[in-house]
Amino acid sequence: MKKITTDTLVSDFHRDGFCLIEQAFPSATLERWSRCFEPLLSAHIAREGERLIRGPARHYVTLPFESVFADPTVFENDDILDIIFRLVGEDAVLCQLATDTPLLGSDYQETHRDAKPLFPEEGIETPSFQLAVNFPLIDVSEENGPMEIARGTHRLPKHEALRKLETGEVRLEPIFMKRGDVLIRDVRGLHRGTPNRTNVPRPMVVLGYSRAWLFRPEVSIEVPAATLEKLSARARKLLRFNPVVDSITVTSRKEAYADFAY
């Protein structure tokens, strides 16, 4: 990626609260992710039952940080990290690896943010402190549940952002993506999930990057010691605040990230 392109993407982010990078990942890589995700989704549905914390027929599934899901070409992608470091600092941490997947029967979510403001008593918004890096495992179309985002609402107090939405000064826009595209967004931008009207699940991966001092106990990545040993120094630094484990228990525990809408 040329520097001018990075500059443009960072400028887009500051203006809109998000930027879209086209074809950042090879389709073959994400096809492998998709194949490995299918049994995880089935196990999640069987385990969680009717506990639908993201809305009807919508599943939040944490991914195990191993095998294809621990691919440095994805979470340590140079072009993406260049943008991440410019937005939340070079000491940023990687704190989340999960998916949001609407199925047939899903509905519109309530318009929300993914985080509270840092200083709600002051009624002000700060520069970015947490980012969601989203990429789909299949193409995202009008029919299968695109995320909708209201541009420029990430630096507004929520009541003002909602007022602009109600008056039509801003609007919720669907974000259509091809497999391989990457969306980097400030988690405070107003957004919502929409219905998947097809018979095919629409998995959207989220990598969470934040400033080093931000801690949200509801999200973390269990890092197997054997995997950690194989990673670069930069990758180990990104993961430095996550628990190191002998083996991953994610497939047998209930999801902890239940309160997600602010």
69-106 pLDDT, tens digit per residue, is: 999 999 999 999 999 999 999 999 999 999 999 999 99
Residue with structure tokens 């195990």? 64
At 44, give phi and psi (nearest 5°).
-65, -45
Q: Any bridge partners for residue 37, and if so which?
A: none
Domain boundaries, given as residue ranges, for the chain: 3-246
Residue 168 in 3-state DSSP? coil
3-246 architecture in CATH? Sandwich (2.60)
Q: pLDDT tens, 126-181?
A: 999 999 999 999 999 999 999 999 999 999 999 999 999 999 999 999 999 999 99
Contacting residues for 230 by C-beta, under 8 A, at least 6 apart: none
Return the pLDDT at 213.
97
d(CA 103, CA 201): 5
Return the pLDDT at 257.
80
Q: Supply the mean pLDDT for the chain.
A: 94
- As given in the structure block, the two tokens for residue 36 are 């490995």
